[in-house]
Amino acid sequence: MLIFVVILSQFLLELAAVNVTPETKISSTSNFIWSYDDESKWPGKLCQSGGKRQSPIDIRTDDVVRDFRKEFIKYGPLKFTGYKKVLTTGINNGHTIQFSTEGEDLMHPLISGGPLKYRYRLEQLHFHWLSEHAVNGVKYPMEIHFVHVRADLTVNQALHRKDGLAIVSVFGNVQSELDDSDLHMGEVMTHVPKLMRPGNRLSGVLLDMSKLLNVDKSSYYTYAGSLTSPDCNEAVIWIIFTTPIVLTDAQYRMFANIGIVRHNFRSLQKVNQQVVYMPVEVKVKVPHIVQFFVDVGRAVTDFFKNFGTFVSNGIHVR
């Protein structure tokens, strides 16, 4: 019994050594042990009352606003700086696998543009399986969150500003066979086996995060929402890319075997004041068969246009 108590105590100390929320350093309840299995016991008033702009939500594409008037997306294209070589610490915090940026704030990657008035520094990325957000009622197998803090604020200040945080979200789809060019998760997956148990930590991990962001950056949903774990602060500008990255079935199964809770996503929240926007410059991808008929239609139109000109000019016989 004594041995069991010692082992349990050591485990709890290891777990306390890492913050137990996905938003490490981005939560004021980092010492409160909570569970995805019972959201009714989450700390934080906003987690319980529902607030006015809670996340995640079900994005209904028919309700998404193309921001022609620049009501929300005011600052041009999104700009990512410094994501190719990022020094991180890998952590299993009991809720997810997380990679937190190391070094001074000035060394952190930055994002700007789109709906972001300010520059935001990357603090960490983490994984959810299944996805937290849904699109037209459908969830993806995975969602990756890149958590950023406004570059001119401390973390504590950012938690109390309506635009203090920016979370970039990338969906993940499972595919049985992948080409080398599609191996978005390959580098990250070399480190995951060392982070299978809560409390596991891995320092000095150099990641090329641009591989996880290898999507169409002009096509995204964006809205003002909240953190998806305690204290559920309504301080987040969400940027959710419409194009998913892909991972293999084996890679996805490895996440399922990580020693954490059964699932790590918050339930979908009621849509109150959250208006979801999209950039107007998004290019709609037309299926090949549709494009074929469009091309045929243009050819027929051109033929009759030229034929009409020929007839109107008449046939001159000498």
pLDDT tens per residue, range 108-152: 999 999 999 999 999 999 999 999 999 999 999 999 999 999 999
Structure tokens at 82: 């410094």
Is 10 exposed, middle or buried (CB count within 10 Å of its CB: 0-12, 13-18, 19+)?
Answer: exposed
pLDDT of residue 26: 60
**pLDDT on residue 25:** 54
Q: What angle do CA 258, 91, 238 make, to 5 degrees?
A: 95
Residue 312 lies in a domain: no
d(CA 82, CA 62): 35
| DSSP E strand stretches across the chain | 58-59, 65-66, 79-81, 86-92, 97-101, 110-113, 116-128, 134-135, 138-139, 142-150, 165-174, 201-207, 220-225, 236-241, 245-247, 277-278
* Residue 296 pLDDT: 54
Matching residue, tokens 């016991």: 41
Contacts of 270 (CB under 8 A, 6+ apart): 50, 54
Q: What is the mean pLDDT of residues 297-315?
A: 51
pLDDT tens per residue, range 15-64: 443 444 444 456 544 456 888 988 999 998 899 888 999 999 999 999 99
Is 110 inside any structural domain?
A: yes
Over the stretch 212-269, which tens digit does the pLDDT of each residue have?
999 999 999 999 999 999 999 999 999 999 999 999 998 999 998 898 767 899 999 9
29 located within any domain: yes
Q: How many residues does the chain have?
A: 318
Which residue stretches of 229-287 are H helix?
A: 249-256
Mark out the alpha helices in the chain (DSSP H runs): 2-17, 45-49, 155-158, 186-189, 249-256, 288-313
Using alpha carbons, select from 187, 202, 166 the residue that is nearest to residue 88: 202
**Domain housing 262:** 2-299
Can you give the pLDDT at residue 145? 99
Which residues, 6 or more positions from 247, have their beta carbon under 8 angstroms from its beta carbon?
A: 141, 142, 172, 173, 174, 175, 178, 184, 185, 189
Query: Does the residue 310 lie in any domain?
Result: no
Domain count for the chain, please give it: 1
Cβ atoms of 231 and 27 closer than 8 Å: yes
Let me know if residue 313 belongs to a domain. no
Q: Does 308 fall in a domain?
A: no
Burial grade of 184 (CB within 10 A; 0-12, 13-18, 19 or more) = buried
139 forms beta bridges with 134
* 305 in a structural domain: no
Looking at residue 47, which CATH number applies to its domain? 3.10.200.10
Tokens for 25?
């350093």
Is residue 304 in a domain? Answer: no
